[in-house]
């Protein structure tokens, strides 16, 4: 005789929610449509859930070691007991499989049947400076939006609401469907009234009663300071609208142009400054271009090639407070040709061990 508790991997004291969670987990793994699918195993766990998921059948099983409601005397409910909707059980598949829409080809929606509009992805290009300090952009998108005339109700202004003839005002439709597990009685939201049970007597003429329509939509995008190339900005609810559900999201992918003189290094900015050999030896003053404008810096005597000089607070703005630094990498220009006098001076330095 089969032990349904062992099949689902639960204790005999498991609650109804524990049983449902165990079934969902195993159904996700063994459904025949999945790569890890096993039809025989899936039938077995479905059989176990049909018994343990029903209080009356579970009580019979706990008492007699089998359930007599729809099962044969040979032990448990049996697969034959599932040919009539799991022995007469009615399933709201939006409830049982609300987290497994991808397993069954997307036929189920999260949130107990609430539909969701499509997401939209767009790309925008920023200058290097815009990516550091942030900016604002406005995009014009032609997409499905909630009808502004009827505010998504699908009804003509002032019209009466009548009972939906498709679902008889229930807001849900029950259907018998054939599957590999037998006949399911499924419960889904009515697509005509979108679960409300009421429909307008006269439809909105702008959206033909659907509550949504294709229009231009101006979307304001606020790009935060310090955003990096390839990052995404998510605008919740600014994607495609859908009748009777919630809109999808808008994803904005950022592309940052390179700057010819300045590069980013974490929260710091980096540039290269070419200095004369004499200034590297004796010191001097130079001006560097930062994103904030020109800044004067002093070159210390004896600076080394590749050494970094730091200008504090001129880097990337940080989320919490302050800014990174602006780093200046020293590149010493070595002269290719020397005058006779310069050569003599170098020789003198050489003789002195310098």
Q: Which residues of the chain have pLDDT under 70?
A: 1, 65-114, 177-184, 354
Q: What is the domain range of residue 48?
A: 4-89
**Of the residues 222, 237, 256, the one at which a domain ends:** 256
Q: What pLDDT does residue 191 have?
A: 78
Q: Say if residue 130 is in the same domain as residue 252.
A: yes
pLDDT reported for residue 309: 97
178 is a domain residue: yes
Domain count, the chain: 3
Q: Quick one: pLDDT at residue 103?
A: 40
Q: Are residues 266 and 213 in the same domain?
A: no
Query: pTM for this structure?
Result: 0.60
Separation between Cα atoms, residue 46 and residue 42, nearest integer Å: 6
On whether both 243 and 309 belong to a single domain, the answer is: no
- pLDDT tens for residues 9-59? 999 889 988 999 999 889 888 887 777 788 888 889 998 998 898 888 888
Tell me, what's the pLDDT at 8?
92
Res 198: pLDDT? 86
Q: How far apart are CA 135 and CA 270, in angstroms?
A: 22
Residues 209 and 334 in one domain: no
SS (H, E, C) 213-281: EEEEEEEEEEECCCCCCCCEEEECCCCCCCCCCECCCEEEEEEECCCCCEEEECCEEEEEEEEEHHHHH
Residue of 126, 144, 146, 123 whose CA lies nearest to 136: 126
């Amino acid at each position: 005789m089969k032990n349904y508790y062992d099949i689902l991997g639960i204790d005999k004291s498991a609650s109804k929610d524990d049983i449902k969670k165990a079934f969902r987990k195993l159904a996700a793994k063994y459904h025949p449509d999945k790569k890890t699918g096993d039809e025989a195993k899936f039938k077995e766990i479905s059989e176990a859930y049909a018994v343990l998921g029903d209080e009356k059948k579970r009580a019979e099983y706990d008492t007699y070691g089998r359930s007599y409601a729809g099962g044969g005397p040979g032990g448990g409910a049996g697969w034959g007991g599932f040919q009539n909707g799991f022995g007469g059980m009615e399933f709201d598949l939006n409830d049982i499989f609300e987290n497994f829409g991808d397993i069954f080809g997307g036929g189920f929606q999260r949130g107990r049947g609430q539909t969701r509009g499509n997401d939209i992805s767009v790309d925008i290009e920023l200058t290097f400076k815009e990516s550091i300090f942030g900016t604002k952009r406005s995009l014009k998108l032609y997409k499905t939006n909630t009808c502004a005339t009827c505010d998504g109700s699908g009804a003509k202004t002032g019209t009466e609401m009548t009972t939906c003839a498709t679902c008889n005002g229930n807001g849900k439709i029950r259907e018998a469907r054939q599957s590999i597990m037998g006949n399911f009685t499924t419960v889904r939201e009515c697509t005509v009234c979108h679960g409300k049970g009421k429909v307008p007597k006269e439809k909105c003429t702008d959206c033909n009663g659907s509550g949504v329509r294709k229009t231009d939509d101006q979307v304001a995008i606020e790009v935060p300071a310090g955003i990096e190339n390839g990052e995404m900005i998510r605008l919740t609810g600014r994607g495609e609208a859908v009748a009777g559900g919630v809109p999808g999201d808008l994803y904005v992918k950022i592309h940052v142009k390179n700057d010819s003189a300045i590069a980013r290094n974490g929260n710091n900015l980096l540039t290269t400054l070419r200095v004369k050999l004499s200034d590297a030896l004796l010191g001097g003053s130079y001006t560097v271009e930062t994103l904030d404008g020109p800044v004067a810096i002093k070159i210390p005597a004896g600076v080394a090639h590749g050494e970094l000089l730091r200008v504090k607070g001129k880097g990337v703005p940080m989320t919490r407070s302050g800014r990174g630094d602006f780093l200046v990498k020293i590149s010493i220009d070595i002269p290719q040709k020397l005058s006779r006098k310069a050569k003599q001076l170098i020789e003198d330095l050489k003789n002195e061990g310098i």
